[in-house]
Amino acid sequence: MLEFRDVVKHYRSGDSVVRAVDGVSLEVAAGELVALYGPSGSGKTTMLMLAAGLDRPDRGEVRCDGRSVAGMSAEEATRYRRTQLGFIWQQFHLAPGMSALDNAAMKLIAEGLGRRAARRRAARWLELVGLAERTRHPPEQLSTGERQRVAIARALANEPRLILADEPTGNLDTTRGQAVLTLLAQITRDAGVATVLVTHDPTAAAYADRVRTLRDGILLDGAATAAEEVARDAAAKGTAP
């Protein structure tokens, strides 16, 4: 479903070059949840931006359902993001002044679904993420964790084929975080979605079918279980797992 083929993305910053993604090949199948695990600055968000067509690789190719993402016109890329993709952003990107319900319904309305039907569907997703009591509140009247859940409801409401989740539980307490991860794993499996979960939390990585570790823009060898990755990480830091 999603494929990175020898992808390189470097950023220039003054005289130096940041090798954000440095020759990554990775496939994520429909119905599979892959965790991209790695420290801050290892290139995880850059990989999601490339998959969403919000940035272009310097070399290599990102394909979704066989189509080159960088090869899409601006119009095709917008439609791809609205209809195929559920992007859960680290910074939420909610519209201020609009209710949680309208924020969650936004992509559905943009795709032409009637306002009432869009709101009905969005309300169901808000309920699933535990926000049934907060649908009328705009983001500025919600806690950070509640905003994160609105962003998750919005990302899932269009029933995407590919979910890109950037630290989706970063602002949630353990119970809420586990509920969101269980929901993501369930949607991935039941709806045959390909999901990439970016995290530096080993507990979150444990919900994945496969965990791949990114360091300095390079994927470490081999797929591993979350437990193996946690042990490898602890060994690298010289701490007990």
Q: Which amino acid is at 56?
A: R
State residue 155 phi and psi, 5-degree precision.
-65, -35
Rule CB under 6 A: say whether 38 interacts with ligand ATP: yes
Query: Least separation, in Å, of the C-beta of 142 and ligand ATP?
Result: 22
169 makes contact with ligand ATP (CB under 6 A): no
- Using the minimum distance from each CB to ligand ATP, give the nearer residue, 42 or 158: 42
Which residue in the set 16, 40, 73, 239 belongs to the binding site for ligand ATP (CB under 6 A)? 40
Q: Does 196 bind ligand ATP (CB under 6 A)?
A: no
Question: H helices then E strands: how many in the chain?
Answer: 8, 10
CB of 28 within 8 A of CB of 195?
yes
Nearer to ligand ATP, 41 or 60 (CB): 41
Q: For residues 111 and 4, what is the distance between their CA atoms, to the nearest angstrom?
A: 27
Instruction: Give the span between the Cα atoms of 119 and 108, in whole angstroms.
Output: 9
Q: Of residues 200-229, which lie at the interface with ligand ATP (CB under 6 A)?
A: 200
**Cα dihedral: 215, 33, 201, 231 (round 10):** -70
18 near ligand ATP, judged by CB under 6 A: yes
| DSSP 3-state percent helix, strand, coil across the chain (nearest 5) | 40, 25, 35
Gap between the Cα atoms of 141 and 109, Å rounded = 23
For residues 45 to 74, the per-residue mask of contacts with ligand ATP, x marking binding by CB under 6 A and - elsewhere, is xx----------------------------
From candidates 22, 24, 43, 157, binder to ligand ATP by CB under 6 A: 43
Q: Using CB under 6 A, pick the residue from 2, 32, 34, 42 that binds ligand ATP.
A: 42
Distance, CA of 133 to CA of 153 (rounded, Å): 14
Which of 159, 201 has the CB closer to ligand ATP? 201
Half-sphere exposure of 40 (CA within 13 A, CB side): 2
Q: How far is the CB of 44 from ligand ATP (least distance, A)?
A: 4
Give whichever of 121 and 210 is closer to ligand ATP, judged by the CB atom: 210
Under the rule (CB under 6 A), what is the footprint of ligand ATP?
Answer: 11, 13, 18, 20, 38, 40-46, 200
